[in-house]
Chains A and B, each alone.
Chain A
Amino acid sequence: MLGTLASCHRPWKLDAQDINVQKALPPLQFALTEAQTGQTVTAGQFRGKVVMLYFGYTNCPDVCPLTLYHVAQMVRSLGNSARDVRFLFVTVDPDRDTLATLNKYVALFGAPEILGLRGGPAQLQAVAGRYHAAYSVHPSPDPAQYAVTHSAAIYVFNREGKPEFMIAGLSSQTPDMPGITRDLRHLVDHDSI
């Protein structure tokens, strides 16, 4: 069915806030712990789903909550197609983000398609390095001085785990929701953009 759809493939024009990364990034690959079940999950388990990969942390004061709020709205607007989409929130602050904390946090946004993932330093470094996602954690006994930085883009992979595009606009105050949603929906309905 998907093959048939792809045969009438024409170049898709991405929204201005989305960036084509088909040739820039490797396929989806990771081994991390899923927050709700406590089980190790790998990229292979998400074959058949359009996957959005994101790096953040639950104590994030701005970019992460705003991104997740917009993602939840976008996923809800997909209706039945939402079941074909997963958003993976990988914490870059595993010391403070326990599985329980992470699970509670992602659940707040009310979209079950959003999953929290956590890994040890080596696992995290492997997956973040693979997608050139930068992050740094500077712990401090004073919570107000505990600093975390991270890349804010969402990496979108097709149902086969191949990289398609990066969403850069959802952490802004003026995301192009219809345009970004259109790109995501197109990927749900096709093999590739």
Chain B
Amino acid sequence: MKRLMLVLISLPLGAAAPRGADIALHGTNHGALPCMVCHGTVFQGNPSIGAPALAGQPAATTLAALDAIAAGKLGTNAVMQNIAVSLTPAERAAVAGYFASLKAK
């Protein structure tokens, strides 16, 4: 009985909302590369590949950009488009929130 209770208690944790920091640093196992790879280790952006700064962006800005990229209405980088498509709405919101929590570099 005790074990069953532990399982029940741990369930909500297992189904926890995606963590923006995890996605940004490590990517997902279903198609999203770590954001850091192209946007820089402190998400300062990389002009040489057209990757904009993400640190300090308002969540709404990042979210709108991700939605537009996924819809093929923004950007020309196929890798980025595939990443945006692969992110669930909850994951997009999570990374957008994470970048908003960082100081602009």
Give every chain A residue within 8 A of B104 (Cβ-Cβ). none
| A-side contacts of B49, CB under 8 Å | 59-61
CB within 8 A of A173: which of B27, B48, B78? B78
Query: Please, could you name 9 A-B residue pairs with CB atoms under 8 Å apart, sorted by A?
Result: A65-B37, A68-B37, A69-B33, A108-B36, A109-B34, A143-B47, A143-B48, A173-B78, A173-B82
Q: How far is the CA of A144 from the CA of B52 in the complex (A)?
A: 12
Select which of B33, B38, B48, B78 is within 8 A of A146 by beta carbon. B48
Q: Are A66 and B33 interface neighbours, CB within 8 A?
A: yes
A105 interface residue (CB < 8 Å to B): yes
- Chain B contact residues: helix, strand, loop or mixed: helix
A98 on interface, CB distance cutoff 8 Å: no
- Residue on A nearest B79 in the bound complex, by CB: A62
- Interface residues of A, count at CB 8 A: 18
Q: Does A151 contact B (CB under 8 A)?
A: no
User: B88 on the interface (CB 8 Å rule)?
Assistant: no
B15 CB to closest chain A CB (Å) equals 23
Query: Is B51 in contact with chain A by the CB < 8 A criterion?
Result: yes
Cβ < 8 Å to B, chain A residues 100-114: 104-105, 108-110
Residues of A within 8 A of B101 (CB): none
Q: What residues on A are CB-neighbors of B61 within 8 Å?
A: none
Residue of B nearest to A64 (CB): B37
A36 proximal to B (CB < 8 A): no
Q: Which of B29, B34, B48, B78 sits near A62, CB closer than 8 Å? A: B78
CA distance A104 to B42 in the complex (A): 12
Select from chain A the residue with minimum beta-carbon distance to B25.
A108
Q: Are B47 and A144 in contact (CB under 8 A)?
A: yes
B41 touches A104 (CB 8 A): yes
| CB-nearest residue of chain A to B34 | A108
From residue B33, how far is it (CB to closest CB) to chain A in Å?
A: 5
A115 to B47, CA, bound (A): 26
Q: Which of A61, A66, A105, A146 contacts B51 (CB 8 A)?
A: A61
Are A61 and B79 touching (Cβ within 8 A)? yes
* B-side contacts of A69, CB under 8 Å: 27, 33, 37
B50 interface hit (Cβ, 8 Å): yes
Which listed residue, B29, B36, B41, B51, touches A73 by the CB 8 Å rule?
B29
Bits for A63-85, please: 1 = Cβ < 8 Å to B, else 0. 00110110001000000000000
Q: Which 10 A-B pairs have the closest CB atoms?
A: A143-B48, A61-B49, A143-B47, A65-B37, A62-B79, A69-B33, A108-B34, A59-B48, A108-B37, A65-B33
